[in-house]
Amino acid sequence: MRTIKGPGIFLAQFLSDQAPFNNLDSICGWAAGLGYKGVQLPTTDPRIIDLQLAAESQTYADELKGRVQAAGLEITELSTHLQGQLVAVNPVYDALFDGFAPEAVRGNPKARQQWAVQQLKYAAQASQRLGLTAHATFSGALLWPYLYPWPQRPAGLVEDGFAELGRRWRPILDAFDACGVDVCYEVHAGEDLHDGVSYERFLAEVNQHPRACLLYDPSHFVLQCLDYLEYIDIYHERIRAFHVKDAEFRPNGRQGAYGGYQSWTDRAGRFRSLGDGQVDFKAIFSKLTQYDYPGWAVLEWECALKHPEDGAREGAPFIQNHLIRVTDHAFDDFAASGIDQSLNHQLLGI
């Protein structure tokens, strides 16, 4: 077993035009001042990283790493959540997701997808240059509009959708494999990889690719009423990244999991700041430690009620208090008898 690294913080939700959230150096100083030890970097904001340059220049990658280390922090992972979403987009979402891409490829789904795939390949190379072994992303979705089986889905639709998703991701996974980096899909509503069953369908299409790993975020499973602890038992060998995010699900006589088209504040299922929701983090940290999870515990702040700065301030000690410093000896070693193998055989009658 090993002690989980942390606390880390995903910077995407905190970036703004106001200091200290408007450039890498100042936001790292802010995070370090709150007690964080690592930062997960989004890759679409040039104030944080030039992803192509990080992929192509070891000098730039070393400088970037040095700037983060100057604040007393480490880079936990890079994130391409927005680019990963664009690897696979059902046409119904074209207009909504165009905003994730540069203006030059908007209105051109094929060019947009090609841009996204190249971004992922840059991320693989950049991660390698930065000395990272895990990468956070989304799978994208071709089938999400057909999640509920009404109207009746045509025969073969789901199979064709996953076959195409696998076809698009296999060369990306191979690029990450060449760089020694795991692709950690955040299993998430709105993605074709949104639970264990859909993840297993995808694995089958990419021939159980060793780099097709998981970012574990229990908040999404609370909202699906999925057993997020058993999920760790099933998939722990593939979990290589961890978003520490809380959630609550409080259905009533008017709404349940679907939420009635309501805003986040009014939904029965909503994300909360750490400690304000229903997630059993003591059990989660225990299981991940038991299964020798090798990565970071990274706060992802998304709360419908609390101010983000308060969520970040509370998040560092919350994670720190859940980290388990693993023991280097058994608790009952004091009672060891020192019996040798010959006596063992005598006791067993062999």
Q: Where in the sequence is the domain holding 149, given as residue range(s)?
A: 5-348
CB neighbours of residue 97 within 10 Å: 19
Residue 81 has pLDDT above 90, yes or no: yes
Please choose, from the candidates 123, 130, 124, the residue with its C-alpha nearest in 3D space to the C-alpha of residue 62: 130
Cβ within 8 Å of residue 267, ≥6 positions away = 255, 259, 260, 304
CATH of the domain at 146: 3.20.20.150
Residue whose structure tokens are 């999404």? 220
- What's the structural domain count of the chain? 1
* pLDDT tens column, 110-161: 999 999 999 999 999 999 999 999 999 999 999 999 999 999 999 999 999 9
Going by their DSSP bridges, the two strands 296-299 and 269-272 should be labelled as unpaired
Percent of the chain with pLDDT over 90: 93
Residue 335 has pLDDT above 70, yes or no: no
For the ranges 145-149, 317-321, 342-346, the lowest mean pLDDT is seen at 342-346
Please choose, from the candidates 279, 280, 215, the residue with its C-alpha nearest in 3D space to the C-alpha of residue 247: 279
Section 198-208 average pLDDT: 98
CB neighbours of residue 257 within 10 Å: 13
Do 183 and 135 meet the contact criterion of CB atoms below 8 Å apart? yes
Please choose, from the candidates 240, 233, 216, the residue with its C-alpha nearest in 3D space to the C-alpha of residue 294: 240
* pLDDT tens column, 7-59: 999 999 999 999 999 999 999 999 999 999 999 999 999 999 999 999 999 99
- pLDDT score of 334: 64
**pLDDT: which is higher, 53 or 334:** 53
On the CB side of 292, how many CA atoms lie within 13 Å of its CA? 2
Average per-residue pLDDT in the chain? 96
CA distance 277 to 270: 9
